[in-house]
Amino acid sequence: MKLSYLVGCLIYRVIGNHLPKSDARIKLGGKRVRVFAAKLMLTKVGKHVNVERGAHISHTTEIGDYSGIGENSRLYGRVVIGDYVMMGRECFIYTYNHETLRTDIPMQEQGGTAEKTVSIERCLDRESCHNITRCNHWEWSRYWSVFSSNKRCSTLCCRLW
């Protein structure tokens, strides 16, 4: 494990996690400290990002420009967050799951699925987003699609508020 990752974790857990949220009236530099720690910990961090306090992030996570990770969110495994993605609080993303192919064997005894990269990208237009995500029950304002490594859409469709 790299020294920069350990230093970043230490800064984030000891200092950044206890500073006020980014939108607090009295800021005390919490956002800057958390972004600095994220740049030490993560594979890639873009410009003008926001990492809120309480987030647990895998070191293989990548964050694009103008993106944010919400308070108390959990990102486990390889997660690639594109540009202009705003995650709400307590958002959980897992890149692996329990195996459930056989119904005659308990799920706990079947092991786990192979880890796949989860990539969150911006839809370029309404039609391509509708065709990919099949989420026509949402408003069509500013959509994002979530893909697994094989580029098949998962059941998650995120909207910016």
Single-letter residue type at 106: P
Q: What is the mean pLDDT of residues 130-155?
A: 38
Cross-strand bridge partners of residue 81: 63, 120
Tens of pLDDT, residues 85-109 = 888 889 999 888 888 888 898 888 8
- Tell me whether residue 84 is exposed, middle or buried, using C-beta atoms within 10 angstroms of its C-beta: 0 to 12, 13 to 18, 19 or more: middle
Tens of pLDDT, residues 26-47 = 888 889 999 999 999 998 999 9
Strand ranges (E), 1-137: 44-45, 50-51, 56-57, 62-63, 68-69, 74-76, 79-81, 92-94, 118-122
DSSP state of 130: H
Helix residue spans in 22-157 (DSSP H): 30-41, 126-133
Query: Is residue 65 pLDDT above 90, yes or no?
Result: yes
